[in-house]
Structure 1
């Protein structure tokens, strides 16, 4: 995997020969599946040698998963470890609520003997990994042909709502994390006020993550079913409860033309366009908007690009800026894993 020139990342360690041919374990820790990979650095890029998935909830700690990965693959003297986690990282520590684990880079250095351990928010890691994407892995929703100069916004609805960005320093893009998904949701129409009240009775404070995530899509669906009284076909409730909720809802909407599922997806995409607008404005992301995450990838074929773009660019005074910003949907889901390995290989102050 080599760096894409569309993403001129600030990676000063690329020029340091001591970062060549280094063995690295990268891990993307998620609520459902933890993915671990063994990488070797070289020529300013990465080569992945091994990749395994582990059901997160079946393990008491990440250390348990890490030991298993090392033993199963007979790895010895691995130099570096990088971890992408679904939450904030402060002074090398993180306690992601979705995992229930306490993580400290110093513990992994001590217990496993790594010379270097890094830990980043998962969407910041994903931002690094996006620099390894090929052009074919970018699905254009709207573009003038290339990423323009300027900051870039990243929006990723999945188990939670990830928000991050790239700061453009005039020469390089520098990824950074945010916790913007936990900012408060605001309704615009009378029906959305009803939806807000529905969520307020459940959560108290209603965040954008309560709307734009797997739980958020379920919230939209049950509001349509329980409050707006849209009929639910017989048997659908069992399928949604016992299968992959997003995939089953998508299948019902696209293959079976189930109205409540189509309205749920349309509503979700309208909210996604609105929060994309919010994030782009807050970051002044004239360089582009990147949409990632499991949900966007699952429903990609359903997205009406023209309609999404029209909803996205609505603004009180900033439409001239918004309408010229390129929008891409990321088609692959390995950016978090690849990104933390890239950071651990080449990032140096």
Structure 2
């Protein structure tokens, strides 16, 4: 996913925060889908980026208000956790489904039976049902808003760790499928920027929402090409080195031959002179 960012064209992402992009500075991404992925890239002195994986999606989830505290305790009880669970339990497709299920139990009077039946039947795609009905169903909308707020907080935390002034990218399948919650509603960026006295550090970072969902494949292709190019360059370098060694060896041989001829000439001249 990280290397795939290096292949993006301008029409493949939306600018969420129009800050100055600094060349050669770190790049980072967070992507919610079936799980929550995070990674970052740094550049060498030639400006070539290397990608580093991490497990940022498994950092602790921290509830931010009263209803999230209830949600937090509900999930801990369901999972049998003593003290904590990861943010991925909330910020992911399954996490969105978990939020809806909690709200449906808390507010049974808001449950739409048709939507709820579709939700129960969807199994591993329950998060999709919530997203598909978020604009028309109050409970799904509430679940989506809690999800996007938590997503924004985690994105902001990731940006504080990496300070990716080369660009921070929202990837994964959930954001492009629910664009209005990231672009028209003031939820995601507000949560991103809500970092107290260090909020200006986040506001100075360019933030992009990626529309394409094939970054994994593109990144694998990009990295494979880089490996092939590096291998070919090493072969070429070895060939040049061998040629230089051969040239050096040939030069040494020529010098030795010329020295021998010169010495032989001197000795021959000396012998002939004595005669």
> Normalising TM by the smaller chain, what interval?
0.7 to 0.9
State whether residues 286 and 321 of structure 1, in contact with CA within 8 Å, keep that contact through their aligned partners in structure 2. Answer: no
Q: Tell me the SS of whatever aligns to 2:154.
A: helix
User: Aligned match of 2:217 in 334, 337, 343?
Assistant: 337
1:256-299 CA distance string (max 9 Å, x none): x2100111111111001000011111112222210011111211
Pair 1:153–1:198, CA change in 2 (3 A): same
Instruction: Give 1:229 deviation, angstroms.
Output: 4.2
Q: CA deviation at 1:245?
A: 2.6
Alignment of 1:1-349 (within 5 A): 126-144=1-19, 146=21, 149-169=24-44, 171-203=47-79, 204=81, 205-229=84-108, 231-243=110-122, 244-254=125-135, 257-304=136-183, 306-347=186-227, 348=230
Cα distance, 1:337–1:207 mapped onto 2, change above 3 Å = same
How far did 1:252 drift?
A: 1.5
Point out the structure with max Rg over C-alpha.
Answer: 2
State whether residues 246 and 298 of structure 1, in contact with CA within 8 Å, keep that contact through their aligned partners in structure 2: no
Q: 1:191 to 1:302 in 2, by over 3 A?
A: closer
Q: Is contact 2:26–2:43 with CA below 8 Å preserved after alignment?
A: yes
Residue 256 of structure 2 is matched in structure 1 by none
Give the strand-richer structure, 1 or 2: 1
- Between the aligned partners of 1:339 and 1:230, the Cα distance in structure 2 is 46
TM-score by length of 1: 0.60
Give the count of matched residue pairs: 222
How many Å separate the matches in 1 of 2:89 and 2:28?
20
Segments of structure 2 that go 5 or more residues without pairing to the other structure are 232-275
Alignment match, 2:267: none
Counting helix residues as a fraction of each chain, which structure ranks higher?
2
In the alignment, structure 1 segments of 5+ residues that lack a partner are 1-125
Q: CA RMSD in A?
A: 2.0
